[in-house]
Structure 1
């Protein structure tokens, strides 16, 4: 074996170095600036420690802060380890479990010593201070390979029961690694079991670029039957500027929280009696109705036929479709109840018959749509058939995962399924891409398009998946969206068990992304449920079934809209589009007349004739996010004008009533009807 190896850099240049050279040494040879900036190395595409020796010919790329995605994951991983070290330093006897990086930070699950209460928010300042001390100590992070038995012995000797349990389950034939914080074996060295990679030292972290955010309860291995732990959450960044920007986004997000605004605007509420389902108030349901009417117009224009299917279907149907085997834990199922009446009391008690038929409340609409498609004989000349449904579905989401309108147990989808021939798939998906584009633009959203590819556990042949994935690629290309302008990206392993899918990720006003619309090219369900059409050759053929939605669900899309617009919905969506408010009682009759004319013009208007100061009325209607306040006093009544105060704008405009009505009528027209 040669003592020299060949290292190829991203620019195509190559250099011969001694076997065992580290990427850090190569960075230093290139220049001191790079040596200081380099955080880790990408070896043949795999991120590794910058101090890990190279043992063969390789392609090498050095990761710096400019490689933000890789760099952020590295620093967040390290912040998590520093967090665990700090907690154990402050409270000896604390047991640690796991601490991964997250989308905007990190967490670590720990168990407080028996001598003290579980960790709380009050402990976070002390932990932060200790973390900064560890970072400023610039302790080296050193990788070592251990045997499984070494790990088990280490954790058992130190009373780390969770780590010991996990170590016993690790495979003996894999390379098992630990990382020291500090020189191995030194007095202040701290050790954790980890795959890595890590930075070269704790000093590579910015001590001012993290913040501990909150604590929460957790269970060992996520099972509530196991020991309860404390999960300490933090957010971590490459520098203080990024941290401050993130905290500002969080502050803005809190102001936009749809649950808070929903209360202030009197749109909806949630309560334990129907946990996971929404009580829509008149104003909130007005938003729903406007969205539903808008989507119906879009679907009618796209050649969809609207249907309505049952909420309950026999479990055998869900078994045949494959959902019962893959999704049963998320479904609500009910048996055929037989009431037994007590002869003495006359009270009926429900009992389940031994041979009861089990019914399941639908978690999705697709099997029912196949059953509609199967009625009668379908010819190739009838295809494509586009069946749409504003379908109410139920899913047994975990209690702790429920979140306002964003994640519920009862929801309604703007759902549709397109049944088409193999030759029609690309064109139908292309048309859907253009339809989705028009909808999102009507709401002012930009978006990215992503293709979720075959998961590890799936139905169907490899050939089927190859074809289905390529059809979606071709359709997006024909729609002109398979490029950087639309953030085109492929996501390995993230498709559904029956089909790949295109996903639309919206970007809201404060830069957050929301995955909403999807379309999936499915050949599995038509086969499992025996759907067919008669082809030109007179033989039966399987249709391809395209599952598609644009809003995703009305509940979640309304929640996104509320937060995106901070409650200041476009006038056409606002539940109350204008309020006519009086300054003095002498203007009451004129206010009633103005409101009547506005209502006759199709404006959703209310009158505020209360004996309150106008500033009080302005504040109240601003809090309710009414787009326009039309103020009238004695002068306006005499002149036939209104003083228009627009939400979010300074001052007011004096307009003739007829001109104000025309302005409001134009703004209240849905975007798809403007110019019609």
Structure 2
């Protein structure tokens, strides 16, 4: 038989028979690799192990160590779940079943909602299918064959009708179940050993509220029972840290039907945390050459028409009409972002190159219309405050300004809060404005700034904003979850749309670049992240109450009140637990409220002019003078 050569990721080559598959390449490399192969990558494209290879192809063998391996496993698990549902509910009509972060789901149209008992039965049937080690077999159909294969399945028929003419239509079959699918899949169902069905939720077909409501079953799958157990443990920990639960327990905020979905009401302690964050960050920004602005919450619709939001973002905004009282009726829009106000400040005067860069920041509250189904506590709210800033600068200043922003990100996220983070640069999307030179300059500036800062980054092709490329910063919390907070964007849209200009050194007129940036992002979301990251036990400098005085007896109350007043004057947030309760109850209450310090006062402390200091995690620290305690608290501030 004729032979051919394929290239391996390390640059070497290996000869295999003509007509060989990815699995054959794995076997030629070694038996252990052949046994571990769950998929392949041919010329960069993910394929099944039985996909053919050709002379000169670059072939990589995908094992469970590959970053994409779990996605393949979970997609296969979704197919097994669909087969189990078909076996138990023969009249089911199928939607789609992709892999998602940490798991998979499948949408089903069934006669009645699934019950917990149904999930248990589906999971048991899945285990039987897995034990049978049914191979996943791929076939390519023409359009007529595909329609016949999915007769009686309207959602699949709709997907088939939307495929471009001439595009191959692939299906996968395991056992008696066939599904419309691009693949790839693991070699057989036996690979799916560690899985669990998690919950059922309603989901509109194609996310459209005018379409049928389907039943979506979520599941998770891992390569080992150990990994599955660790994931379930992380879920339990995440539930314990849920900011909505801790927000109630710590009396930070609440939500009310009369306010509408996604609009938090901050209680005194929650409001205090937000103000502490803002006051601290305000000082940091002033030191770094920023100036602060306060801009309106509403603008006439004309502003949003110039900016482009009226045409491209209207469904996410709140518009209303106002009778001006002089025969005119004007349309206004509530701001979904703070950009227009900062543009108006820039445009209010003649600017020259000597005025640039001009750095304007604002803790601006914005409102965006989110569907009630996606609103999630503080993490996704309809009203939120951004630590927003806009930098107006010359093209040659973009690099240095972005480096300065990355320095700020590093200080805030890593040095102050202890987060690890990663970066992603999103490049020009298919639908965009601006000439190639502007995009090239801006994208290179972002890349070179990351390089200069020593920040590794991934490229997210085509995911930039329509007006410019951006850097997204994703932080990792205490239990390994990632969150996007900081964003740095280059904008060609606003300056040109609003006619912004500056005089160059040659006395010519030029359009400035505009950089959008947030560090914390949504203050609401960042507070939610902090609550879950710290499990409610805020660092001392950020805690709404830093110390509580606990009198052992009523006769110690006057001294406690005096000490509390002294601490407050020194900037320590202190309260007195004056209730007629045993000391152990008061200490337990302070622990439950996660107060950093409990200051116990008895006869000895009154006589010595001290307090007995107890730290929430370290326990008893012994007697301490008031001044010494104030110094200790002050030392914990960034």
Q: Cα deviation per residue 1:460-509 (whole Å; 9 max; x = unaligned)?
A: 2222211110011111212222x3xxxx2111122111111112111111
SS for the counterpart of 1:536 is: coil
Q: 1:250 aligns with which of 235, 241, 254?
A: 235
Q: 2:411 aligns with which of 435, 438, 447?
A: 438
The residue aligned with 1:193 is: 180
The residue aligned with 1:419 is: 392
Distance in 1, Cα, partners of 2:621 & 2:433: 62
SS for the counterpart of 2:305 is: helix
Larger deviation, residues 3-12 vs 257-266: 3-12
Q: Cα deviation per residue 1:235-267 (whole Å; 9 max; x = unaligned)?
A: 111211211111111111111111111111111
SS for the counterpart of 1:400 is: coil
Q: 1:109 deviation in Å?
A: 0.3
1:94-105 maps to which residues of 2 (within 5 A)?
A: 94-105=92-103
The residue aligned with 2:18 is: 19
Q: Cα deviation per residue 1:598-622 (whole Å; 9 max; x = unaligned)?
A: 2232211000121111221122111
The residue aligned with 1:31 is: 30
The answer on whether the counterparts of 1:111 and 1:118 sit within 8 Å (CA) in structure 2 is: no
Distance in 2, Cα, partners of 1:221 & 1:559: 30
Q: 2:163 aligns with which of 156, 165, 170?
A: 170
The residue aligned with 1:216 is: 201
Q: 2:555 aligns with which of 586, 593, 615?
A: 586
Q: 1:392 deviation in Å?
A: 1.2
SS for the counterpart of 1:34 is: helix
The residue aligned with 2:617 is: 648
Q: 1:290 aligns with which of 272, 276, 293?
A: 276
Specify every segment of 5 or more residues in structure 2 that has no aligned partner in the other structure, as ranges: none
Q: Alpha carbons of 1:658 and 1:426: their partners in 2 closer, same or farther (altered >3 Å)?
A: closer
Q: 1:418 deviation in Å?
A: 0.7
- TM-score, normalised via structure 1 length: 0.91
The residue aligned with 2:120 is: 125
Specify every segment of 5 or more residues in structure 1 that has no aligned partner in the other structure, as ranges: 183-188, 341-352, 672-676
Larger deviation, residues 166-175 vs 247-256: 166-175
Q: 1:594 deviation in Å?
A: 2.2
The residue aligned with 1:357 is: 330
Distance in 1, Cα, partners of 2:588 & 2:117: 37
- 1:451 equivalent in alignment to 2:425: yes
Q: 1:88 deviation in Å?
A: 0.8
Q: 2:174 aligns with which of 154, 171, 181?
A: 181
The residue aligned with 1:343 is: none
Distance in 1, Cα, partners of 2:466 & 2:173: 41
The answer on whether the counterparts of 1:413 and 1:554 sit within 8 Å (CA) in structure 2 is: yes
Q: 1:168 deviation in Å?
A: 2.6
Distance in 1, Cα, partners of 2:317 & 2:569: 47
- 1:300 equivalent in alignment to 2:299: no
Q: Cα deviation per residue 1:150-175 (whole Å; 9 max; x = unaligned)?
A: 1212222xx22221232233233001
The residue aligned with 1:405 is: 378
SS for the counterpart of 1:334 is: strand
Q: Cα deviation per residue 1:96-150 (whole Å; 9 max; x = unaligned)?
A: 11000001100000011x3xx2113332111111111111110010000011111
Tell me how many residue pairs correspond in the alignment: 636
Q: 1:15 deviation in Å?
A: 2.6
Q: 1:142 aligns with which of 102, 127, 137?
A: 137
SS for the counterpart of 1:224 is: coil
Q: Alpha carbons of 1:656 and 1:309: their partners in 2 closer, same or farther (altered >3 Å)?
A: closer
Q: Cα deviation per residue 1:346-398 (whole Å; 9 max; x = unaligned)?
A: xxxxxxx9x74321111111122112101121111111111111111111111
